[in-house]
Chains A and B, each alone.
Chain A
C-alpha cells in the first residue's frame, strides 16, 4: 500500500515541486525541463513506493538517493480539501454508477453519475452495447429484458469509446442494475439474477441484476 507522508503543503499551478530525477510524477503534476511542477491548485501528497526497502517502515521521511527509478516517491497534487467538486474522466477499468436514459434494441444509453467514489458534476454519456450486457449466452440478450430507462446500473468502463460515449460493460456478476423502479412507480427489490419485484403490486420485471454485495 502506498502511504502518504505527513508533510502536506499547498501547491498552485506552475509551482516547482522538485527535480524529476528524485520524484515520480503523479496526478496533478507535470514535467517541464526535467523538473516536476504542479498543474493543479491543491494539496501536495508524496507517496512512498509500494515496497519500502529495508525492514523498518519509516514513512514520515521522503528518502531519496541511490534507488532505482521505480522506487522513487510519487508526488501528486490532489483537490481534496480544496473543493468537494472533483471532476474525473472515467478511465478503462473504472467502476461507474450510471442512470439509463434511453434504450434501443442494440444498446442502452446511460448517463455516468459516479466514477469510483467520485460524484461527477458533469454528465458523461456511456453506452452499454447488447454484446456487453452479460458474460454468457450473449446472443440471447435483449436490452429491454436487461435495462429500463431510470434504472441505476453499476458498470465497468471498457473503452474510451467514440467522440461522445464511453463504452461500458455489465458482464460480471456484481455488475448490473442496482436500483430499479417498477412500471407502477415503486422501488423494487431483486429476487434472483434476472428479476426485480415490486413489493406493492407483486409483479416482477426482468433486469440484468447485479449481485448484491
Chain B
C-alpha cells in the first residue's frame, strides 16, 4: 500500500545499481586496517544551538576515517520542551520523556523509507533509557519533553557490501552518537540533569594478522575483519553510573573477565566522548 501523503515515485520497483562481484571482493582485500590506536576515539565535532526554533539542539559530527567513501556519523538533535502534556494524557508528577530516532532517506547505503523501522524504534528505546537516568524528572511535573535525533549520515562504508552483517554493529555507533548529541541538546534546552551522559562503544575484534582477539574502542566495522562482540555504554562520569548498557555478540560465558573488560573499555570510550561534550558546553556560555 502506498502512502498517498507522499510522492511515491514509479509504481514499479527501482533498484540501486549493483557493483560488480569481482570488484567488491577485491575491495575487501584492500581495506585499510584501523589507523588509530585501540584506545583512541575518532575526532568529534559537537555544537549546540543549531536549531534556534527548538528549545535546545545540538549537532554532532564524527570524523570520517580518512578514506574516501567512508562517511562519518552526522547527527542533528532537537529538544522541544518542557511543554505541557497533551490533554488526553493522565497526570504525571514528573517529566515524560519521548525519544525519536530517524535515519534520513539519504543516510545509508540503501535508501531509507520515511516510516520508522524496528531498528530505529529500538534505538529510540535505548536512547530513552540512557537519558532517563540522567534527567531529574521531578523538577518538571506534568510536562513532557520530546527528543528527536535525525541521523543525517550513518556511520557506514559506502562500498563494502555484503562483507559481513555489519549493519547491527553500525547501530551501536549510531546509538552512542545519539546519546552524546541528545545530552548536549538537553543541556542546551535547560532541562535539569544530574550529570552529562555520553555514549561510548567498545568491541572485541579479531583481525587476520593478530593471534588473539583484541578489544578496541569506537570501532569502525569496515576496519576489522570480524567483530565478535560489542557493547554500547551510556555513562555518567561524576556519578560513576552506567545508565544504559547494550551488549551484543558472542562471548564464552565462562570468561567473565572479558566481559567486564569490554564494559570497562566502553566506559573509557564514553569518558572520552564526555570530555568533548564538557568542552563544547563550556564554550557555549560566555
Contact = CB atoms under 8 A, between A and B. Distances in A.
Nearest to B92: A163
B152 interface: no
Interface in A17-45: 28, 30, 32, 37, 39-43
Contacts of A13: 134, 187, 192-196
Interface in B127-154: 134, 136, 139-143
Contacts of A87: 55, 81-82, 189-190
Contact of B281 (A28, A41, A121): A41
Interface stretch (B4-12, B23-31, B83-91, B156-164): B83-91
A83 B91 contact: no
Interface stretch (A60-68, A122-130, A203-211): A122-130
Contacts of B189: 87
Contacts of B91: 162-163
Contact of B286 (A10, A32, A39, A79): A10
A13 B281 CA distance: 9
Contact of A123 (B84, B85, B193): B84
A86 interface: yes
Given A41-B284, A160-B141, A14 B85 contact: no
Interface string B43-85: 0000001000001000000000000000000000000011111
A32 B240 CA distance: 12
Contacts of B192: 13, 28, 30, 39-40
Interface in B99-142: 134, 136, 139-142
B196 A12 contact: yes
Contacts of B143: 89
A82 interface: yes
A164 interface: yes
B238 interface: yes
B182 interface: no
Interface in B160-198: 187-190, 192-196
A158 to B, nearest CB: 16
Instruction: List 4 tightest A-B contacts by C-beta distance, closest first.
Output: A14-B195, A122-B83, A163-B91, A39-B192
Given A39-B193, A125-B87, 8 more contacts: A15-B238, A82-B284, A87-B81, A87-B190, A122-B83, A162-B91, A163-B90, A164-B142
Interface of A: 10, 12-16, 28, 30, 32, 37, 39-43, 79, 81-83, 85-87, 89, 121-125, 160, 162-164
